[in-house]
Amino acid sequence: MVSILNSKTITYEQLAKTIDHSLLKPQLTRDDVIAGCKLAAKYHTATVCVKPCDVKLSVEQLKDSDVKVGTVIGFPHGANKTETKVAEAKAALADGAVELDTVINIGALRSGDADYVRDDIHAVVEAANGKAIVKVILENAYLTDEEKVLACHLAEEAGADFVKTSTGFAPSGATIEDLKLMRASVSPKVQVKAAGGVRSLEAILKVIDVGATRVGATATAKILDEFKKQHNIT
């Protein structure tokens, strides 16, 4: 079930554990990934979300921390064949990932092929086999509200743990309106992740107040340092 968080009562520890520290930019070097893992460990985030090629490295870097390693599947366009997404998921699990953020087949959804979209998500859920949380990226920038609602329903029917707003690589990311719509379109057992454009403490608290329990962020240090400052935490 969804945990209830709000901006008035959230603690530093709770806020840190809503953050998936994002390390997905294509130009990141091995040293950048290592530095990102160290930052995540220092701030005790929920996870690092890294490119598939960086999962093994990140698992090694974070083995003595409380930060988990997640990765992306079918990223960033969702256009991979289902078999490819399944192979990606299995490889990520073998490398030590425990969270998988998979992109829906956006074109199939917009074409009205609900069965394909549901089956595509379910195949990744099956590959995760209880060993990893599965978050489904809708990429809302390309969808109508009706398509967003349908995608949420299909993700839940397929057994996903989360629905997520965006990859961070589309023309727009998380909006309050979309998060409200997504929260209303899934049952309490499915959580909502905000990603794309959440770059300040004010922004993260706003998305938490409308039901997001995870947030993809690159501005992790800025957000958490500001929280500490406002609450006189040393």
DSSP annotation string for 121-186? HHHHHHHHTTSSEEEEE--GGG--HHHHHHHHHHHHHTT-SEEE---S-SS----HHHHHHHHHHS
Has residue 132 been placed in a domain?
yes
Has residue 22 been placed in a domain?
yes
Catalytic pick from 20, 101, 161, 178? Answer: 101
pLDDT of residue 2: 62
pLDDT of residue 1: 56
> Is 193 known to be catalytic?
yes
CATH code assigned at 198: 3.20.20.70
pLDDT of residue 12: 97
Using CB atoms within 10 A of its CB, is residue 214 exposed (0-12), middle (13-18) or buried (19+)?
buried
Has residue 26 been placed in a domain?
yes
Has residue 170 been placed in a domain?
yes
What parts of the chain have a pLDDT lower than 70?
1-3
For tokens 């809302």, what's the residue?
Answer: 140
Pure H helices in 67-113: 82-95, 106-110
Catalytic pick from 54, 120, 164, 178? Answer: 164
Has residue 105 been placed in a domain?
yes
Has residue 101 been placed in a domain?
yes
Q: Which two tokens stand for residue 93?
A: 């699990």
What distance, in Å, lies between the first and last C-alpha atoms of the chain?
A: 32
d(C-alpha 194, C-alpha 183), whole Å = 11
d(C-alpha 144, C-alpha 161), whole Å = 22
How many domains does one find in the chain? 1
Has residue 124 been placed in a domain?
yes
pLDDT of residue 234: 85
> Is 42 known to be catalytic?
no
pLDDT of residue 3: 64
Has residue 2 been placed in a domain?
no
pLDDT of residue 27: 98
Q: Quote the domain boundaries for residue 69.
A: 12-230
Residues 6+ apart with CB under 8 A from 73: 52, 80, 85, 88, 89, 92, 100, 101, 102, 103, 124
Neighbours of 160 (CB within 10 A): 26
> Is 101 known to be catalytic?
yes
